[in-house]
């Protein structure tokens, strides 16, 4: 039989790594809720047409990277979500959230799927956490999101990231810029990569996402978006920049930043980390004022970001910001050692009793000798070892060994919980 492995581009997250993942989730939940965002959970897959309509037919994601499938007998096409904004907006409309309260602040955490060539930190199953503020055109919300993402990374102890900012205009002003760069690039068409030559005809702004060096050099000479946006977009952009300055947020203007989705309007931004190399984004976001209407709702202003959890972890590791406590070290407060096979059932029952009293207790399941059990208790960093032997049991007692002082004493079985609780203050036995 062939060796069974996790599919290409997917990864198991093992117990030793879980602490870092949970820490990211906990920081996100507490920060997002502090800022008034409420969690929403949407399905892992959606109708393919949702992503085609929202992300855009001629984007890399829709053209090449979607995991789509058609369940037998149904004739519909479904797709594993490549991002969550489209799903959140779909849910906002489907459940009439806009009718009960037009302005909604929502957040999500979960896996996303894109069929890309896997590389470090960028699997085919990857994980994002993000926020969406739906129902307002206020530029201060773009600023709130940038500050919120910055705070998230700071809470994790990540240093050295940078914020790139741009405005990509709106459906009123974008066509003029699009025509202009199209005309400009037609003259250099032969020097562009095959993908960009195709993009030139179908969706010219997508060339700006190209990662090919020879293409990037050519695009660096193009005029800035900002010079061509309309008065409305310029006013919004000025308000965003002003509030970022007022609140001490450092950012750099990136005149050709577009992000990979067609639904963005006005503000777009990216958080990047230099430790990650060429694909350095750890967070991407922006305004999407046309998306709610595009999928069947009323005209609605909206803005949001997504943070890549895998890339954030990679940046933390590479910049050595991972703290000791994030390492998944195994700690059990109380270890119950059994003198012989004959006392094992009593040990088991005692472990259950301690856990019921919220005291973390561990015992041996691998047939270790008493000596080996004591070594194991030491290795696990147990604060207390309870030794259960036949003589003690007969007397209704156990031996309690304080691992810090090495002192031993006999304790009555029915007083063990109280005795351990008494130690809690000094040694953190209970969780
Ligand atoms: Zn505009
Ligand atoms: Zn290219």
Tell me the per-residue pLDDT of 41-60, one tens digit each, with 9 for 90 and over: 999 999 999 999 999 998 88
The mean-pLDDT minimum among 108-122, 153-167, 237-251 falls in: 108-122
Summary mean pLDDT of the chain = 91
pLDDT of res. 329: 43
Q: Read off the pLDDT of each residue in 255-274 and give the average, rounded to a whole number.
A: 93
Looking at residue 20, its pLDDT comes to 94
| Listed residue (150, 187, 167) closest to 227, CA to CA | 167
Q: How far is the CA of 208 from the centre of ligand 2 (A)?
A: 8
Percent of the chain with pLDDT over 90: 78
pLDDT band at 323 (very low <50, low <70, confident <90, very high): very low
Using the mean position of ligand 1's atoms as its centre, give its distance from the Cα of residue 2 in Å: 57
Order of all β-strands in the sheet with 265-272: 38-39, 104-113, 125-134, 302-308, 281-287, 265-272, 162-167, 252-253
Distance between Cα 8 and ligand 1 center (Å): 42
pLDDT at 430 over 60: no
- pLDDT tens digit sequence for 148-206: 999 999 999 999 999 999 999 999 999 999 999 999 999 999 999 999 999 998 889 98
Q: With contact defined as beta carbons under 8 Å apart, do 225 and 256 qualify?
A: yes
Q: State the pLDDT confidence band at 429, using cuts at 50, 70 and 90.
A: low
pLDDT tops 80 at residue 328: no
326: pLDDT confidence band, cut at 50, 70 and 90?
very low
Measured in Å, residue 266 CA sits from the centre of ligand 1 at 7
Give the Cα separation of 111 and 115 in Å (integer).
13
pLDDT of residue 180: 92
Report d(CA 223, CA 279) in Å as an integer. Answer: 23
Q: How far apart are CA 87 and CA 210, in angstroms?
A: 26
pLDDT tens digits, one per residue of 355-381: 999 899 999 999 999 999 999 999 988
* pTM for the structure as a whole: 0.85
Ligand with the closest atom to the CA of 196:
2
Distance 77 CA to ligand 2 centre (A): 30
The pLDDT of residue 70: 93
- Ligand nearest 214 Cα, by number? 2
Number of alpha carbons in the 13 Å side-chain half-sphere of residue 68: 16
**pLDDT score for 242:** 97
CA-CA distances (angstroms) from residue 212 to 193, 268, 288?
7, 21, 27
Q: Which ligand sits closest to the CA of 170?
A: 1
Tell me the C-alpha distance between 121 and 314, whole Å.
Answer: 6
- Which range has the worst mean pLDDT, 242-246, 281-285, 350-354, 425-429? 425-429
| For residues 231-246, average pLDDT | 97
pLDDT at 330 over 70: no
Question: How far is ligand 1, taken at its centre, from the CA of residue 170, in Å?
Answer: 4
The alpha carbon of 138 and the centre of ligand 1 are apart by a number of angstroms equal to 15
- Per-residue pLDDT reduced to its tens digit, 215-226: 999 999 999 998
What confidence tier does 2 reach under pLDDT thresholds 50, 70, 90? confident
User: Looking at residue 331, what is its pLDDT?
Assistant: 55
Report which bound ligand comes closest to the CA of 229: 1
Q: For residue 380, what pLDDT is reported?
A: 87
Q: How far apart are CA 343 and CA 382, in angstroms?
A: 20
**pLDDT score recorded for residue 3:** 87
**Residue 137: what pLDDT?**
96
Residues facing residue 412 across a β-bridge: 397
Quote the DSSP letter at residue 271.
E
Instruction: Tell how far the Cα of 164 is from the centroid of ligand 2, in angstroms.
Output: 21
Say what percent of the chain tops pLDDT 70: 95
Instruction: Compute, in angstroms, the gap from residue 206 CA to the centroid of ligand 2.
Output: 9
């Amino acid at each position: 039989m062939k060796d069974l492995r996790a599919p290409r581009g997917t990864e198991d997250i093992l117990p030793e790594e879980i602490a870092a993942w949970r820490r990211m989730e906990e920081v996100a939940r507490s920060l997002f809720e502090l800022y008034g965002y409420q969690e929403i959970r949407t399905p892992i897959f959606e109708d393919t047409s949702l992503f085609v309509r929202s992300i855009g037919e001629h984007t890399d994601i829709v053209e090449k990277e979607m995991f789509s499938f058609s369940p037998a007998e149904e004739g519909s096409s479904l797709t594993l979500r490549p991002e969550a904004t489209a799903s959140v907006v779909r849910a906002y409309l489907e459940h009439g959230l806009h009718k009960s309260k037009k302005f909604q602040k929502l957040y999500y955490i979960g896996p996303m799927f894109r069929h890309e060539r896997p590389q470090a930190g960028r699997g085919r199953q990857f994980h994002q956490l993000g926020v969406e503020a739906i129902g307002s055109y206020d530029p201060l919300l773009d600023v709130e999101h940038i500050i919120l993402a910055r705070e998230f990374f700071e809470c994790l102890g990540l240093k050295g990231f940078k914020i790139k900012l741009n405005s990509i205009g709106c459906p009123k002003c974008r066509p003029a810029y699009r025509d202009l760069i199209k005309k400009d690039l037609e003259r250099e068409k032969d020097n562009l990569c095959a993908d960009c030559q195709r993009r030139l005809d179908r969706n010219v702004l997508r060339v700006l996402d190209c990662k090919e060096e020879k293409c990037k050099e050519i695009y660096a000479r193009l005029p800035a978006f900002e010079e061509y946006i309309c008065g409305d977009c310029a006013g919004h952009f000025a308000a965003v920049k002003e509030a970022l300055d007022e609140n001490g947020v450092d950012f750099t203007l990136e005149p050709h930043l577009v992000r990979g989705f067609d639904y963005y309007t006005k503000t777009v931004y990216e958080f990047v980390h230099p430790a990650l190399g060429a694909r350095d984004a750890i967070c991407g976001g922006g305004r999407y004022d046309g998306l709610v209407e595009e999928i069947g709702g009323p005209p609605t202003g909206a803005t949001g970001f997504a943070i890549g959890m895998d890339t954030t972890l990679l940046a933390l590791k590479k910049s050595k910001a991972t703290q000791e406590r994030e390492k998944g070290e195994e700690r059990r407060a109380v270890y119950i050692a059994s003198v012989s096979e004959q006392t094992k059932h009593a040990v088991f029952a005692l472990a259950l009793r301690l856990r019921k009293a919220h005291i973390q207790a561990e015992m041996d399941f691998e047939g270790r000798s008493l000596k080996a059990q004591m070594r194991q208790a030491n290795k696990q960093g147990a604060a207390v070892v309870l030794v259960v032997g036949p003589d003690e049991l007969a007397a209704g007692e156990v031996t309690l060994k304080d691992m810090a002082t090495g002192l031993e004493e006999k304790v009555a079985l029915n007083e063990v919980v109280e005795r351990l609780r008494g130690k809690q203050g000094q040694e953190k036995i209970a969780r």
